[in-house]
Amino acid sequence: METLVYLALATVTATLIGALFLAPACSLGFRPLLSGYTIVIYTMILYIALSAAVPIFFNNMTSLFYPEYSGPDKFFGTLVVNWLGILLFVGFYQFFSRRRRVRISAHSTGHPISPRVYLIAYILMLIGVVMKVLFILRSGGLHTILVTRSSYIAQNLGLTEQSDNLTLYLGFFSLAADAASCWLVLEAMRVRKNLLPHAMLCLIVLVMTFLITPKRLVLIVPILALMTGFGIYIRPLRINQAPLFLLGAVVFSMATIAGRIFLPAYAAGITVLNFARLDIVRKFAIRMLSGDISFFDATVVGIYGREAVLAKFGGWWDTFYRPNLEPFLYAIPRVIWPWKPENLVDVSTALRAITQGVPLEKAVGGFGIGLVGTAWIYGEFIGLVFCMGVLSWSAVFVDRFLVKMHYASPGRILIFAVSATVLFHLYRQGSLGWCFLSFFQTMAVFWLTIVLLIYLNGRRSSRVLSTSVPVALER
């Protein structure tokens, strides 16, 4: 049976690699590194192939977090379901894009930017940075913020982050600096002037965001935007650079999660790991990587513990409603909705409740299950077909938006980065509720800032002769 597991993992990996060669091409004839389609395939490589390889090769086919749902038979079945999901996504993508072959705009110059719009971008960035500084001061200082980024260390030291409503609003609206700084870097790339100083300012802003924001995934949009801008304005990024992109994604994942562990420990004066003990370091690295991409483990539970998950919620409707629809109501103030739930209850919460043997509301923690596992819980193979169809249609929509980009302005590049990140979250989180809470609600100020800059620049562009050179798109 173990041989079948290795064969299934090899088949999944080969299928994902082959799927990259079906990525949409650009108007210059090559396949760009970044598109809606490729973002989903990269996510599958990380959260299926790599996520499965960790317990299979480094932990004797035993899940680190759900050991009772381990073994070659369960791993083989889960790999087969994931393989079907990959085939469905690729097949649906080709089907939805059949009438008009998706060929992405490769490069263009865009509209000139007025000094007034530049000034507004600088002001927004400055205001956002000031808000970040005020957030740090009102939260008890940088030391308190660093320590409280680890709830375990903070609890042991008796520290809590001082976060009243005003402080939370400061952190929320400070993301205007991230959007404005990215916009300025992209514009510097477009005109090829003053790139280094703008890049340094953007780096400072993003480092501040990483330090004060619990969710490190807020960095994905800026990274995708800057990479897309580099590929359009500076040097084309092609699909054959995918291995480097995936390696960078793993390094980013490991580095940011290590920062969430070691920075609080350093601030608290605690030694987390003895680097002289290589055996301990190896186990720590494997567990850290598994914890960050533990979706395969969770998918095993979703497939083979489906009935138990439904039972935890009390039936199919509650299993669908609470993770997917109820979180949208969280935007309603508690003054209007006094009985609003305190915390989001997700499918991942049910998995943890099963393994801990506690009721759903008392479960602590949980790991993301992803779209494949969630789809199987909702409707087994029919649910998988439906969810992969929705994901494929969404990817085609994003890539057709790129086709319609007659010029690649910084604002449109940022819109693409936002859209591609939605695809990432949709596959990674597996529920609409988490997409809303972890992205739209958290990043609302970011994309509203983008819309504002696009609007202001659009008003300027409508009064002057465009200097853009439209790219001839093949249909």
User: How large is the average pLDDT for residues 400-409?
Assistant: 66
How many residues are present in the chain?
Answer: 475
Paired with 32 in beta bridges are 238
> CA of 450: how far to CAs of 61, 171, 228, 271, in Å?
46, 18, 16, 42
Residue 102 CA, chain-centre distance (Å), reads: 24
DSSP string computed for 345-398? --HHHHHHHHHHTS-GGG-------HHHHHHHHHHHHHHHHHHHHHHHHHHHHH
Q: What is the pLDDT of residue 472?
A: 34
Sign of the four-CA dihedral 452, 234, 404, 434: negative
- Determine the straight-line distance between the first and last CA of the chain, rounded to whole angstroms: 48
Q: What is the pLDDT of residue 276?
A: 54
| 374 against 465, higher pLDDT | 374
> CA of 312: how far to CAs of 218, 307, 318, in Å?
31, 9, 9
Radius of gyration of the chain (CA): 23
Residue found under tokens 């002037």: 193
The Cα–Cα gap between 203 and 122 comes to 15
Paired with 238 in beta bridges are 32
> What pLDDT digit, counting tens, does each position of 226-257 carry?
998 898 888 889 999 999 999 998 888 878 77
Q: What is the pLDDT of residue 474?
A: 34
The Cα–Cα gap between 280 and 152 comes to 20
64 pLDDT band, cuts 50/70/90, is confident
Q: What is the pLDDT of residue 464?
A: 44
Q: What is the pLDDT of residue 116?
A: 84
Contact between 12 and 48 under an 8 Å Cβ cutoff? The reply is yes
- Any idea which of 35-44, 124-133, 194-203, 455-464 has the lowest mean pLDDT? 455-464
Residue 120 has pLDDT above 80, yes or no: yes
Structure tokens given for 406: 């007659």
What DSSP character marks residue 150?
A: S
> What pLDDT digit, counting tens, does each position of 182-239 carry?
999 999 998 888 899 999 999 999 999 988 876 777 889 999 999 988 988 888 899 9
Residue found under tokens 């650079």: 241
Question: Left if phi > 0, otherwise alpha if psi is -120 to 50, otherwise beta: which for 452?
Answer: alpha
- Any idea which of 123-127, 175-179, 283-287 has the lowest mean pLDDT? 283-287
Contact between 433 and 328 under an 8 Å Cβ cutoff? The reply is yes
User: How large is the average pLDDT for residues 269-278?
Assistant: 58
pTM for this model (two decimals): 0.85
User: How large is the average pLDDT for residues 463-470?
Assistant: 42
User: How large is the average pLDDT for residues 147-162?
Assistant: 59
The Cα–Cα gap between 426 and 390 comes to 10
Q: What is the pLDDT of residue 50?
A: 86
Instruction: List the domain boundaries for the chain.
Output: 2-106+258-389, 115-235+405-461
Residue 294 has pLDDT above 80, yes or no: no
The Cα–Cα gap between 387 and 383 comes to 6
Is residue 114 helix, strand or coil? coil
Contact between 459 and 450 under an 8 Å Cβ cutoff? The reply is no
The β-bridge relationship of strands 103-104 and 25-26 is parallel
The segment with the largest mean pLDDT, out of 103-117, 153-167, 223-237, is 223-237
> What pLDDT digit, counting tens, does each position of 438-456 carry?
666 677 888 889 888 888 8
> CA of 252: how far to CAs of 222, 242, 259, 265, 469, in Å?
13, 15, 10, 20, 36
